[in-house]
């Protein structure tokens, strides 16, 4: 029920942070994994880590704000592994600025990376995802799919959109055997949150205090949800937005 050994996954931003957590979970469950990221050095190190787990793994250098690169990463996956069953739209970025200082370029960088890429990667992958009737799209949202924060207008807009994109794709494709779900990470210790942790006094402790699990999250916390949502066990789950946050979102 949880075995992914004949399945092939493509994980954007899979070379570090939460994406590498997703990739590890899929690899441990038996999937072959293609990683996509801009940094060739990080890609190579992550591939080596997955191969050390016994997985078939490759990487493609891709900037997912580039439509040609999106198509190329999907084609590279199918060329290397013969099929594509699981697309993880994980790569993301944030530019923290007060709303009155957000430039159009900031806005496009964040929206293009976080949500436009997910739409068009899903579109490029769709013929492959439905080919074997076991297709999976796993999008990465955020607590800011639910909440607001003052310096995160573009980021929150993008992550709210990721949830609605998830629902729209799920209504279109689930009947064809392609489920579409979204994960909402809480506060996770990665490169992305490092500057925020440094700059906001007391954040470190306040996250621990508010989170029922009593800690920040780690990349390893995303291994299980990726393997589960990708598996046959999750065939009847589609259009869901699932917090992976140690209970942060339900704390009053």
Stretch that binds ligand NDP, among 15-23, 164-172, 201-209, 224-232 (CB under 6 A): 15-23
Cα separation, 72 vs 124, in Å, equals 9
Closer residue to ligand NDP, CB minimum distance, 29 or 70 = 70
Identify the sign of the CA torsion 43, 158, 110, 70. positive
Q: Among 28, 38, 56, 167, which residue sits at the site for ligand NDP (rule: CB under 6 A)?
A: 38
Token pair of 221 as six digits: 């916390």
Please tell me which residue in 81, 155, 216, 248 is annotated as part of the active site. Answer: 155
Residues 24 and 33: their CA atoms lie apart, in Å, by 9
Instruction: Round to whole Å and give the CA distance between 222 and 16.
Output: 12
Which residues between 46 and 105 bind ligand NDP (CB under 6 A)?
62-65, 90-93
**Options 11-19, 98-106, 171-179, 201-209: segment touching ligand NDP (CB under 6 A):** 11-19
Of residues 109-128, those binding ligand NDP (CB under 6 A) = 113-114
Which residues, including other chains, have CB under 8 Å from residue 51's CB and lie 6 or more apart?
57
Told to check if 3 binds ligand NDP by CB under 6 A, we report no
Sites for ligand NDP among residues 187-216 (CB under 6 A): 187-188, 190-193
Residue 155: active-site member = yes
Cα separation of 74 and 61, whole Å?
A: 12
Three-state secondary structure call for residue 26: helix
Residues that bind ligand NDP (CB under 6 A): 12-13, 15-19, 37-39, 42, 62-65, 90-93, 113-114, 140, 142, 185, 187-188, 190-193
């Amino acid at each position: 029920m949880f075995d992914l050994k004949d399945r092939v996954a493509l994980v954007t931003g899979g070379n570090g942070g939460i994406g590498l957590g997703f990739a590890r979970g899929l690899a441990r469950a038996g999937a072959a994994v293609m990683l996509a990221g801009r940094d060739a050095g990080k890609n190579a190190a992550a591939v080596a880590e997955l191969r050390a787990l016994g997985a078939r793994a490759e990487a493609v250098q891709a900037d997912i704000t580039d439509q040609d690169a999106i198509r190329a990463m999907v084609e590279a996956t199918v060329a290397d592994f013969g099929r594509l069953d699981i697309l993880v739209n994980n790569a993301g970025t944030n530019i923290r600025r007060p709303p009155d200082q957000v430039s159009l370029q900031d806005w496009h960088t964040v929206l293009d990376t976080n949500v436009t890429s997910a739409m068009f990667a899903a579109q490029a992958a769709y013929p492959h995802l439905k080919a074997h009737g076991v297709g999976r799209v796993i999008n990465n949202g955020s607590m800011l799919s639910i909440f607001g924060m003052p310096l995160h207008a573009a980021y929150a807009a993008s992550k709210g959109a990721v949830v609605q994109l998830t629902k729209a794709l799920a209504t279109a494709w689930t009947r064809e055997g392609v489920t579409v779900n979204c994960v909402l990470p809480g506060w996770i210790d990665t490169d992305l949150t490092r500057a925020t942790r440094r700059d906001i006094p007391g954040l470190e402790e306040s996250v621990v205090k508010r989170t029922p699990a009593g800690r920040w999250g780690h990349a390893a916390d995303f291994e299980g949800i990726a393997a589960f949502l990708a598996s046959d066990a999750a065939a009847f789950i589609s259009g869901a937005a699932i917090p992976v946050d140690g209970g942060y979102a339900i704390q009053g």
